[in-house]
Amino acid sequence: MQEKKQMNAEIGARIKEEREKARLTQERFSELIGLGPKSVSAFERGAVGISFTTLKKICQVLSVSSDQILFGKTEADGNDLTELVHRLERLSPKQYAITKEVIFKLLEAFSLEE
């Protein structure tokens, strides 16, 4: 039981850290994930655990991986390409088209320098 409380506290602290990095208040964050501010406060303190559904929403809103929330591992710890793909998947079609164009122009510019 103590292990579960410790795990909830660690996960809650990582969620809070990522929420603050995203400059979201608990109230705004709670709206985005579809929960009340008291629920957000409770899981950030580690007083309660989170469901898989809530974890998924949190990761989507904060643009982080579940590994980052659950284990403290960032995608940069693993594969940069995986992180890039993960971020690209979250873009709107218009944002994706613009990003793709910028990336191709950068790659073209880099190859001209060689």
pLDDT digits (tens, 9 = 90+) for 57-77: 999 999 998 999 999 876 555
Q: How many Cβ atoms from other residues are within 10 Å of residue 64's Cβ? A: 20
Residues in the chain: 114
The amino acid present at 61, given as its one-letter code, is V
**Selection from 9, 7, 8, 21 nearest residue 64 by Cα:** 21
Q: Is the pTM of this model over 0.95?
A: no
Q: Where are the beta strands (DSSP E) in the chain?
A: none
pLDDT at 77: 53
Tell me the per-residue pLDDT of 16-52, one tens digit each, with 9 for 90 and over: 999 999 999 999 999 999 999 999 999 999 999 999 9
- Give the mean pLDDT of the chain: 89
What domains appear along the chain, each with residue ranges and CATH number? 2-75 (1.10.260.40), 79-113 (no CATH)
Tell me the per-residue pLDDT of 76-110, one tens digit each, with 9 for 90 and over: 555 677 778 878 888 899 999 999 999 999 998 88
